[in-house]
Structure 1
Amino acid sequence: MPDQLSRIMSLRDVASQINSDGDLDTLLRDLIQAACRHGSWDLGSIMTLDLAHGYALVTARFEANVMLRSPSGDRWELATSPALVALQRFEPVYIRDARESTEFPGYRREALERGYCTVMIYPMASVDAEGRPMVLAVSSRKVVDVSPDDLAFMSIIVHLGAIAIERAHRHRAQLAAAEQLRRVLGAQGSLLQEVLAGGSIETLTAMLGDLLSAPVLVLDFFASSLLASASPVPTVHDDAAWTTLLEGASGRQMLAEVRDAVTTRRAETITLRLSDKLSLDARIEPLMVDDEAVGALLTFDQSSSNDLQKLLIESAKFALSVQLMRSVIRFRFETRTLTELFFEIVERRWRDEQDMLRRARRLGLSLAAPMRMLVIDFPDRTNASADLSVDGHRAVALLAAQQHIAVHIVTVGGALVCLVPHEEGVELERVTRLAHRIAETLARSVGSEPIVVLGDTCEGLEALAKEWERCWRMIRVARTFGRRGAMTVPDFGPLPMLMGAADSSDVRSFIDGAIGRVIEHDKKHNTAYLETLAAYVRAGCRSQHCADAMGLHVTTLRYRMSRISDLFGIGVETPEQRFSIELALQLHSLIDNSNASAARHESIPRMRG
């Protein structure tokens, strides 16, 4: 063995040789070569231990005499290898003569085949690129008695090698981080360039899937749309099937759950249940415009995110928010513009009819063609009327698209007006079915069923204004009598007509002349003569039937009717008298209930500045 000075100089050479900027494979070859030459060994190898599969794998090999080289294996079973013993004890394993060793039969067989004797195996305080532990093995073609100095010398070489390997790992990680940073910065530039160039949100979604190397899902709350880069469960749903699923009931449920999670800021992740046996976990990244959640980015990558990936996601959120901001501005502008046009028509503030028709055509609406009006009146939730209008707008647009019915949606305060052009193939039955679907869907989303009134066909500006007034009278009737859901004109009979005429002076004079004195007497003396008269007329002027309905003795009822006749001169003996009194009672009830409803609701919405 070399003397001490030579060994010190050898260590310097070893350190210089392995302290290079080469890749890991080159470093391992240099390390085993230096260990063999400076430690006076004939053969050597560096092995990684695949503990999961039970094998030791040779990653670097050196043999001093190439002419004597014979074939050797690159994989050893750990059960018969001293490498596992060295790793478990974390101390060198010394085999003086492998040809005579019975503890490791694999080494004995190879020692006889390749002609080596002494073997030393050192555990290394390092791992390979896949995180597997490593050992260094050296062999001599003759029997060598290893001294403590020899062990210490080789241990130092192995330690220097472990330091170099760790340095190589860090260098590789730095290169990977630099490459990822370059990729992130390039991705930022690409995303911003796509946004500034006016690219579509579909293109942005596809780019994000490629950049994040994971499926993503972009939700647009204003457009009620879901755009996916790829299927997160390709074994269950391919890309086409995933897109179909998002367009159906599962997609609508997913949109509602994500919007609720983003609005309430409950969690950063969400579990999407696609079926009883299939659920997906996704990270939620809200997309904000002016502190309002307008959408969300869902990523289905289960790996832990580092700082650069977070930076990339923030860039993606910014690009998507800018794109959605355009959608929000366009939605608000179109809604506002169409609303202004609608109110100019129904409030009859236009001067040039042709100018109104041209303005409508620029908004994609043909007012000169026949159309139906469908009015949606939301439940009385004034503190959330804006949200109801926006959510209702999305839901109605989606339902109409699913049934292939063209609609123009106008926001009018706490209500929506849908103008449905009369087209070939769009029968009244389909529009009626749409009205019922709207009532059912909004009842689930807002917690209470709205009033949905389907009007008749109208054509032209004046006809549209009259139809609006008639539909709103129907809504007032529905509010008065507590009715909700989808309904049409025939469902109300003559009530809307009577509602329209009830406020006239002639009608009020008729009511005052027929039952006005009874009303005043009841108010002044706290009596119930009007109630008794109304019940008597409803019972068909049958005393016993009316008394039973009111819970009175028939004699008491007859006394009250006698007092009504004496005090007010009201009689119901002839059909004409009964009809007059019954009509006055109905009109009075209609006006009274209408006034009470008007105290809670605006009679007809007006345009606000």
Structure 2
Amino acid sequence: MNEHSKLLSLRAAISQIDSSSNLDEVLRQLIGTVCKNTGWTMGSIMAIDVEADFGQVMVRYDPTLIAAALPDQWTLRTSPALIALKRNEPVFIEDAQSAEAFPGYQRDSQDRDYRTVLTMPMTCHDAAGCPMVLSVISREVKARDPEELLLLETILHLGSNAVERAHRMKAQRDNTQRLQQTLEAHRKLLGHVLDDTSEPTLTEAVEALLHAPVILVDFSGNQIFAGRSPDPRRLDDEDWQRAVLDTFARPITAAARQMGQRSGPSDRLVQLADHGGRYAFVGRMEPLFLDGTLAGALVVCFAPDDTPALDPLLLESACLALRVQIARTHSRFSSDTHALSDVLREIVEAKWRNATEVTQRAMSLGFDLAVPHHLAVLDFADPGLMQSGLIVEVRRILTRLTRAEGDRSLVAGYAHRILWLHPVPSAARRERLESLQEALMVELKASFPDAPLVVTGGVFVGLQPFADLWTRYGRLLDIGHNFGIKGLLRISDSSSLEMLFSALSASDVRSYIADSIGQIVQHDQAHHTDYFETLSAYLRSGCRLKPCADALGLHVSTLRYRLDRMKEVFGVVADTPERRFDLELAIRLYLIARTV
């Protein structure tokens, strides 16, 4: 081949190789151009999977092939392709039919009647990243021609560049398509949000977008929504949703609050397992913020052995739609809560002028003053907590506790206190409230480092009774704060001590207790003795030795010894009605200050 023919062949090769941006077409044009312009009969381009130890034919050129089935895979041990790649140079087999070093080509050349084989490495890769080689075959024995080899290397270089360009263009097309799909999915999700779609429906839409089960945590709406099960073989959808609400709700919300203060993908995995070890899942958590405040979280769930590949753009689109949805919920909740708080402020401060107007406003907010309501007041004694989403957290706890019976509670804030108003239409429901109050205290202690003082137990019907009950609650809250009480304080309908506490200062009451029985209490605490209980039982029994000893499970002589010790060590005697009254009153005051 003279120089003019080589240039013409090279020009034809460039023209044919550049005629398409489709990868498969580029490869077909490349192998066809090589064979047509360099005198080789047929050829193929293979991708070499070194780890799997085989070469995969990607495209083949053979004008003499007549409907024959040829192998598409070659074992690398029987092929020169691996040698060409390792040495990064062509492998020339002058007569394949006698090439015992390459038994695969030897058998194939004898079956298909070809002789010379040239295998050349390419400087490109397939879509999986495997290196590629080109093999050309001649039916006649050909001598090694350095000039022809140089022409082939030039065409291969141009072809490799065309392959890489086809890869880039395909990646661009794929990226453009992905962006279009993301925009369309984003449009649909925002359409769901703007159409005021329910959270369960939006959760389903997010699952369809991400192709993975999800959990939506909405702190503003105090709700958790679970979609389909990450492992239907272990839990069906209904069981999974129940498990999320009953078992995973607390660890998910706790993890969301912690992760809201951290960053990085390694920090965003949460383990979800039941206490019995029957099932375990992993969640990829994305905190959702509104104006820098944690408002919720999106949890993408999967089995421990099945980590999904999440598209960052689709994930961000889902998070944006959920933030908008939560913002709408937060706006509605804030508006309703503020309106209810304004009405309650007028009532508890007795500032209303028109009782009918206040009653109607309360009714419009779901607060029917004609229905018996149970009142509980949570006092955190820290005004700063009210600015950090405290009402939202308390409302979330109450929603979960009352979910089984239908939540009709109202939650509102006043100063640094939270009011919980719950309709109580029957005596049976009042008994149910006792267990709810205990459960509420457990939840509050688990959710907040400093448990609040909670006053409960009062029921009212009507505007003025509500205001009167609030005044009484206020006295009890003052008593609790004066004595540093935390926990549950139940109001007593018949207790006159409540009025005594409110009439006396806290320092007066403390001094009275300390002067009467303070030494006994301190001694019991320091030495684990039972003098206080002995004195209490002695006074309850009317200062009679035998009934008191029986109540304490003691011998009369042992009881007499304890009474003598109290007289000797503490100077405590109950030999007159006045002294007995002083001791009984001190004991009552101490027990209230200690246990309420």
Distance 1:108 1:73 in 2: 14
Query: Does residue 46 in structure 1 map to residue 45 in structure 2?
Result: yes
The match for 2:557 is none
Distance 1:590 1:89 in 2: 92
State how 1:344-355 maps to structure 2 within 5 Å. 344-355=346-357
The match for 2:370 is 368
Could you say if the C-alpha distance between residues 266 and 87 of structure 1 is closer, same or farther in structure 2, counting changes exceeding 3 Å?
A: closer
Taking structure 1 as the reference length, what is the TM-score of the superposition? 0.78
State how 1:179-194 maps to structure 2 within 5 Å. 179-194=177-192
Query: Does residue 325 in structure 1 map to residue 327 in structure 2?
Result: yes
Extract unaligned runs of 5+ from structure 2. 522-531, 544-559
Distance 1:443 1:449 in 2: 5
TM-superposed CA distance for 1:78, in Å, is 2.0
Question: Which AA in structure 1 matches 2:55?
Answer: A
Q: Could you tell me the percent identity over the aligned residues? A: 31
Q: What is the SS of the residue equivalent to 1:178?
A: helix
- Residue-pair matches, total: 551
Question: Which AA in structure 2 matches 1:197?
Answer: D
Distance 1:141 1:553 in 2: 121
Distance 1:424 1:209 in 2: 43
TM-superposed CA distance for 1:11, in Å, is 0.9
Could you say if the C-alpha distance between residues 398 and 125 of structure 1 is closer, same or farther in structure 2, counting changes exceeding 3 Å?
A: same
Could you say if the C-alpha distance between residues 580 and 133 of structure 1 is closer, same or farther in structure 2, counting changes exceeding 3 Å?
A: closer
Q: Which of 206, 230, 239 is the equivalent residue of 2:204?
A: 206
- The answer as to whether partners of 2:221 and 2:392 remain within 8 angstroms in 1 is no
Query: Does residue 398 in structure 1 map to residue 400 in structure 2?
Result: yes
The alignment yields a C-alpha RMSD, in angstroms, of 4.0
- The answer as to whether partners of 1:393 and 1:416 remain within 8 angstroms in 2 is no
Distance 1:159 1:75 in 2: 25
Query: Does residue 31 in structure 1 map to residue 30 in structure 2?
Result: yes
- The answer as to whether partners of 2:272 and 2:280 remain within 8 angstroms in 1 is yes
Q: Which of 92, 98, 104 is the equivalent residue of 1:94?
A: 92
Question: Which AA in structure 2 matches 1:153?
Answer: L
The match for 1:63 is 62
The match for 1:548 is 565
The match for 1:604 is none
Alignment deviations for residues 306-358 of structure 1 (CA, whole Å, 9 cap, x no partner): xxx65555544443333222222222222222222223333333344333332
Q: Which of 129, 136, 139 is the equivalent residue of 2:127?
A: 129
The match for 1:265 is 262
Q: Which of 315, 333, 338 is the equivalent residue of 1:336?
A: 338
The match for 1:21 is 20
TM-superposed CA distance for 1:215, in Å, is 4.5
Q: What is the SS of the residue equivalent to 1:427?
A: helix
- The answer as to whether partners of 1:42 and 1:63 remain within 8 angstroms in 2 is yes
TM-superposed CA distance for 1:173, in Å, is 1.1
Alignment deviations for residues 447-477 of structure 1 (CA, whole Å, 9 cap, x no partner): 2443434324432222323333334444445
TM-superposed CA distance for 1:372, in Å, is 2.0
Distance 2:315 2:476 in 1: 51
The match for 1:607 is none
The match for 2:554 is none
- The answer as to whether partners of 1:224 and 1:255 remain within 8 angstroms in 2 is no
Alignment deviations for residues 192-229 of structure 1 (CA, whole Å, 9 cap, x no partner): 44433333444444333444444444321222323355
The match for 2:430 is 428
The match for 1:603 is none
Q: Which of 50, 65, 74 is the equivalent residue of 1:76?
A: 74
The match for 2:246 is 248
Distance 2:570 2:246 in 1: 62
Could you say if the C-alpha distance between residues 532 and 432 of structure 1 is closer, same or farther in structure 2, counting changes exceeding 3 Å?
A: closer
State how 1:165-564 maps to structure 2 within 5 Å. 165-228=163-226, 230-232=228-230, 237=235, 239-262=237-260, 264-265=261-262, 267-268=264-265, 269-275=267-273, 278=280, 280=282, 282-284=284-286, 286-299=287-300, 310=312, 313-378=315-380, 380-387=381-388, 388-402=390-404, 404=406, 406-423=408-425, 426-479=428-481, 484-486=486-488, 488-489=490-491, 495=495, 497-500=496-499, 548-549=565-566, 552=569
- Worse overlay, 17-26 or 242-251: 242-251
- The answer as to whether partners of 2:517 and 2:587 remain within 8 angstroms in 1 is no
Alignment deviations for residues 513-539 of structure 1 (CA, whole Å, 9 cap, x no partner): xx99xx9xx9xxxx979989999x988
Q: What is the SS of the residue equivalent to 1:103?
A: coil
Q: Which of 83, 86, 94 is the equivalent residue of 1:85?
A: 83
Distance 1:426 1:340 in 2: 32
- The answer as to whether partners of 2:376 and 2:458 remain within 8 angstroms in 1 is no
Could you say if the C-alpha distance between residues 93 and 426 of structure 1 is closer, same or farther in structure 2, counting changes exceeding 3 Å?
A: farther
- The answer as to whether partners of 1:499 and 1:590 remain within 8 angstroms in 2 is no
Alignment deviations for residues 545-588 of structure 1 (CA, whole Å, 9 cap, x no partner): 6773376486xx89xxxxxxxxxxxxx9764x457756886899
Distance 1:219 1:553 in 2: 59
- The answer as to whether partners of 2:453 and 2:480 remain within 8 angstroms in 1 is yes
- The answer as to whether partners of 2:373 and 2:422 remain within 8 angstroms in 1 is yes
Distance 1:290 1:115 in 2: 76
- The answer as to whether partners of 2:229 and 2:236 remain within 8 angstroms in 1 is yes
Q: What is the SS of the residue equivalent to 1:331?
A: helix
Could you say if the C-alpha distance between residues 270 and 9 of structure 1 is closer, same or farther in structure 2, counting changes exceeding 3 Å?
A: same
State how 1:547-586 maps to structure 2 within 5 Å. 548-549=565-566, 552=569, 575=577, 577-578=578-579
Distance 1:590 1:35 in 2: 101
Distance 1:187 1:4 in 2: 58
Q: What is the SS of the residue equivalent to 1:27?
A: helix
- The answer as to whether partners of 1:43 and 1:138 remain within 8 angstroms in 2 is yes
TM-superposed CA distance for 1:161, in Å, is 1.3
TM-superposed CA distance for 1:385, in Å, is 4.6
TM-superposed CA distance for 1:19, in Å, is 0.6
- The answer as to whether partners of 2:43 and 2:62 remain within 8 angstroms in 1 is yes
Could you say if the C-alpha distance between residues 361 and 528 of structure 1 is closer, same or farther in structure 2, counting changes exceeding 3 Å?
A: closer
- The answer as to whether partners of 2:113 and 2:139 remain within 8 angstroms in 1 is yes
- The answer as to whether partners of 1:432 and 1:454 remain within 8 angstroms in 2 is no
Alignment deviations for residues 498-521 of structure 1 (CA, whole Å, 9 cap, x no partner): 3235556xx99xxxxxx99xx9xx
Q: What is the SS of the residue equivalent to 2:89?
A: coil
The match for 2:551 is none
Distance 2:422 2:308 in 1: 49
Distance 1:258 1:102 in 2: 67
Distance 1:315 1:8 in 2: 54
- The answer as to whether partners of 1:373 and 1:456 remain within 8 angstroms in 2 is yes
Could you say if the C-alpha distance between residues 220 and 20 of structure 1 is closer, same or farther in structure 2, counting changes exceeding 3 Å?
A: same
Question: Which AA in structure 2 matches 1:112?
Answer: Q
- The answer as to whether partners of 2:115 and 2:139 remain within 8 angstroms in 1 is yes
TM-superposed CA distance for 1:164, in Å, is 1.0
Distance 2:89 2:516 in 1: 110
- Worse overlay, 54-63 or 410-419: 410-419
Question: Which AA in structure 1 matches 2:262?
Answer: R
The match for 1:11 is 10
- The answer as to whether partners of 1:440 and 1:449 remain within 8 angstroms in 2 is no
- Worse overlay, 111-120 or 326-335: 326-335
Distance 2:588 2:94 in 1: 117
Question: Which AA in structure 2 matches 1:373?
Answer: L
Q: What is the SS of the residue equivalent to 2:268?
A: strand
- The answer as to whether partners of 1:389 and 1:415 remain within 8 angstroms in 2 is no
Distance 1:590 1:32 in 2: 97
Taking structure 2 as the reference length, what is the TM-score of the superposition? 0.80
- The answer as to whether partners of 1:455 and 1:467 remain within 8 angstroms in 2 is no
Q: What is the SS of the residue equivalent to 1:58?
A: strand
Could you say if the C-alpha distance between residues 320 and 551 of structure 1 is closer, same or farther in structure 2, counting changes exceeding 3 Å?
A: farther
Distance 1:487 1:590 in 2: 13
- Worse overlay, 114-123 or 244-253: 244-253
